[in-house]
């Protein structure tokens, strides 16, 4: 299995200086950096300090989705490891994930993510594997909304899930090519969840490797307090639902817009006007993208009818009501019977 590590960089020399040494030390495979039109000295620093690393230069910042799509066209491998620039790794991390993928017949996988700022806790972006509820809300083993748990050995095992974290995403090149990689309409955020969903529609399996952990800083490109991040999350979640969710779009999109409205009103009550406006902007942007997304939905419907969709990791209830009404703030509070397995 020809595996390569591929890091997407945009003006991230500080992260590269902090995190790239561990990647080089503990990765016994080729490493590439796709530079997304950086204006800092990232490329020069890599060339001077790690001349063995391959560099793919893009003229412009194409975002997370577009940057990887363009860069991977120039890298030949059987399996890509898409690694954020703010991740530190440990000995044997690649071998452990590759072994889990082989044993479980997974085409996409991520290791368990710990918070680099406090490694006793899981990290928001993926924790111990990703799930999705019936309304399209994402959560993780070890993280429901903003409630993040301490690392729990009960979660740290090989598990088939609904989505794997884009912070350290192992994906077979064949599967990647089958669906043409990330959806560039997303630009950044949730594109890995959309990728997992499209592959699961075609019957592929997604997993989390419970035998290795990595440490992720998080917020390396956009901090949680950035209005652009709120905008992308709300817009992209709607795009992903319209494209992939089974059922009648008018019903589930209307329901989701109403729930988003409640979230926006909550921002307003807390005095977070910029986030309230981000949700409004996200909705307007989504409306303008409906025709194109409906075309993509058609392709997913065709794929669903030709395959046996894999729904493992789908939570059949509302995580919103479980969390905010029933006060179930830990993954272990959720009933196993309420998940598709």
Q: Each residue of 39-97: pLDDT tens digit?
A: 999 999 999 999 999 999 999 999 999 999 999 999 999 999 999 999 999 999 999 99
What whole-number distance in Å separates Cα of residue 72 and Cα of residue 50? 20
Span 108-154, pLDDT tens digits = 999 999 999 999 999 999 999 999 999 999 999 999 999 999 998 88
Spans of all domains in the chain: 3-216, 227-307
Inter-CA distances, 152 with 130, 172, 314, Å: 15, 28, 21
Q: Is the pTM of this model over 0.85?
A: yes
**Run of H or E including 22:** helix 13-26
CATH topology of domain 3-216: Spore Coat Polysaccharide Biosynthesis Protein SpsA; Chain A (3.90.550)
Ramachandran region, residue 190 (left: φ > 0; alpha: ψ -120 to 50; beta: rest) = left
C-alpha 108/C-alpha 91 separation (Å) is: 21
Sign of CA dihedral 223, 225, 231, 236: positive
What is the spatial distance between Cα 121 and Cα 162, in angstroms, rounded to a whole number? 21
């Amino acid at each position: 299995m020809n595996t390569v590590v591929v890091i997407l960089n945009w003006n991230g020399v500080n992260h590269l200086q902090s995190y790239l040494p561990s990647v080089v030390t503990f990765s016994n495979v080729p490493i590439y950096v796709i530079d997304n039109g950086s204006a800092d000295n990232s490329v020069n620093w890599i060339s001077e300090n790690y001349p063995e690393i391959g560099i793919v230069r893009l003229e412009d910042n194409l975002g997370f989705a577009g940057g990887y799509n363009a860069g991977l066209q120039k890298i030949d491998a059987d399996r890509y490891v898409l690694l954020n620039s703010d991740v530190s790794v440990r000995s044997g991390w690649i071998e452990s994930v590759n072994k889990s993928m082989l044993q479980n017949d997974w085409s996409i996988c991520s290791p368990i993510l710990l918070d680099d700022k406090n490694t006793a806790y899981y990290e928001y972006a993926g924790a111990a594997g990703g799930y999705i509820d019936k309304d399209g809300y994402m959560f993780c083993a070890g993280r429901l909304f903003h409630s993040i748990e301490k690392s729990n050995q009960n979660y740290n095992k090989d598990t088939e899930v609904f989505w794997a974290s884009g912070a350290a995403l192992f994906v077979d090149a064949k599967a990647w090519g089958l669906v043409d990689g990330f959806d560039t309409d997303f630009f950044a955020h949730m594109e890995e969840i959309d990728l997992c969903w499209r592959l699961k529609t075609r019957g592929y399996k997604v997993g989390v490797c419970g035998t290795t952990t990595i440490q992720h800083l998080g917020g390396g490109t956009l901090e949680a307090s950035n209005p652009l991040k709120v905008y992308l999350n709300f817009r992209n979640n709607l795009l992903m639902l319209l494209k992939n969710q089974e059922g009648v779009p008018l019903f589930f999109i209307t329901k989701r817009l109403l729930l988003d409205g409640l979230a926006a009103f909550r921002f307003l009550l807390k005095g977070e006007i910029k986030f309230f406006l981000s949700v409004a902007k996200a909705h307007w942007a989504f409306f303008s993208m409906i025709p194109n997304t409906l075309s993509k939905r058609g392709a997913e419907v065709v794929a669903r009818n030709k395959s046996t969709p894999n729904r493992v990791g789908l939570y059949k209830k509302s995580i919103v009501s479980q969390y905010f009404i029933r006060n179930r703030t830990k993954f272990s509070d959720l009933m196993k019977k309420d998940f598709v397995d």
